[in-house]
Amino acid sequence: MALHVYPDVYASGSVPADWVPTKGGALKYPVRNPAVHRYLRQLLPVKWQKVIKKGNTGEVHYFEHASGQVADVKFFPSRTDE
């Protein structure tokens, strides 16, 4: 497993520059996979959480450290046929 830590979701290169998060559109919860949680704590100790954030052109899923740094950023574009 090789996850990189970035200062924010845009720095990861996975999120389009025109993506804007929706106000109140974030879901945050503890990291449930023990192996992933252990690995993240090796990268940066202390608290990590899983975040799903909705935006104007899709959703961004990532792990967020207590410092605000992020890892494993994935962008899922909105479906146009909804």
pLDDT digits (tens, 9 = 90+) for 42-71: 999 999 999 999 999 999 999 999 999 999
pTM value is 0.90
From the number of C-beta atoms within 10 Å of its C-beta (0-12, 13-18, 19+), residue 60 rates as buried
Answer yes or no: is pLDDT of 80 > 90.
Answer: no
Strands of 58-65's sheet in order across: 5-6, 70-77, 58-65, 48-55, 21-30
Contact 74, 7 (CB under 8 A): no
Contact 66, 30 (CB under 8 A): no
- Residue carrying structure tokens 């950023």: 73
The pLDDT of residue 7: 96
The pLDDT of residue 2: 79
Answer yes or no: is pLDDT of 25 > 90.
Answer: no
